[in-house]
């Protein structure tokens, strides 16, 4: 069952709806005609619609299992697109460039709005699990696939929110540091690759930081769950 009236009952619900619109109305992929890439807005790319529908279903649905499935589907699609962008830069389409392209160079702002919308929805869903199902089950480790959400499920909301914000910030900084400037590339006109930088290490550090923070949030989730189990055992004796 879906209750549209409750979509914007909370600030996070408003953020999710705004991000859904921006993901559709801003560039999803930048234009590099030399590599056969044409710039596209989010609404022109089918995967964008699937991602938006996935996290909106997670936000609007009243069944927590359906909401969790929507979250995981949205994450898989976002990561899948990032993986495709990373792979395509290693193909012959980019062999003619002196500039060492990375996947982060091809991704427009719509991808980030999709990621923020997904995380905002995830926080809402994790809070619903914490409020309606006090004892965590198998959903805990599925929520842990998105940084910080499992901690929010365990009612460690501040810690979980910090992880989510830090991961999104690391991804954003990786894009901002890109010499290509994918967040600001126009969808028309000629594309000129920037001069090759001495290194792309900083972008890799930001991307690695996002992955490391996700892993750390999983480790902290395991410790928090173990602590909760031990506390429960003491209370029963």
What would the pLDDT profile of 29-88 be if each residue is shown by its tens digit?
988 888 888 889 999 999 999 999 999 999 988 889 999 999 999 999 999 999 999 999
Residue 65, token pair as written in the block: 């299992």
State the Cα–Cα distance between residues 83 and 104, nearest whole angstrom.
Answer: 10
**Strand residues in the chain grouped as ranges (E):** 27-29, 40-41
Percentage with pLDDT > 70 across the chain:
91
Q: Is the pLDDT reported for residue 189 higher than 90?
A: no
Least confident of 143-157, 163-177, 187-201: 187-201
* pLDDT tens by residue, 163-184: 999 999 999 999 999 888 888 7
State the Cα–Cα distance between residues 86 and 191, nearest whole angstrom.
Answer: 19
Q: Which of 237 and 86 is assigned the larger pLDDT?
A: 86
Share in percent of the chain as helix, strand, coil (round to 5): 70, 5, 25
- Residue 228 — pLDDT band, cuts 50, 70, 90? low
């Amino acid at each position: 069952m879906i209750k549209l009236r409750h979509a914007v009952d909370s600030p996070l619900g408003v953020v999710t709806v705004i991000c859904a619109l921006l993901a559709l109305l801003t560039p999803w992929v930048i234009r590099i005609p030399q590599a056969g890439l044409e710039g596209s807005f989010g609404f022109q790319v089918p995967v964008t619609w699937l991602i938006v529908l996935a996290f909106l279903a997670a936000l609007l649905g009243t069944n927590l299992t359906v909401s969790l499935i929507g979250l995981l589907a949205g994450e898989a699609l976002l990561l899948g697109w990032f993986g495709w962008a990373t792979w395509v830069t290693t193909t012959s389409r980019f062999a003619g460039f002196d500039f060492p392209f990375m996947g982060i160079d091809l991704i427009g702002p719509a991808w980030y709005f999709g990621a923020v919308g997904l995380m905002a929805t995830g926080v809402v869903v994790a809070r619903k699990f914490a409020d309606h199902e006090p004892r965590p089950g198998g959903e805990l480790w599925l929520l842990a696939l998105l940084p910080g959400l499992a901690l929010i499920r365990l009612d460690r909301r501040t810690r979980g929110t910090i992880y989510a914000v830090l991961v999104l910030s690391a991804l954003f900084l990786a894009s901002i540091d890109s010499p290509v400037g994918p967040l600001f590339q126009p969808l028309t006109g000629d594309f000129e690759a920037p001069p090759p930088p001495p290194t792309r290490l900083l972008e890799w550090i930001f991307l690695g930081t996002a992955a490391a923070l996700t892993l750390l949030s999983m480790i902290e989730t395991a410790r928090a769950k173990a602590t909760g189990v031990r506390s429960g055992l003491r209370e029963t004796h």
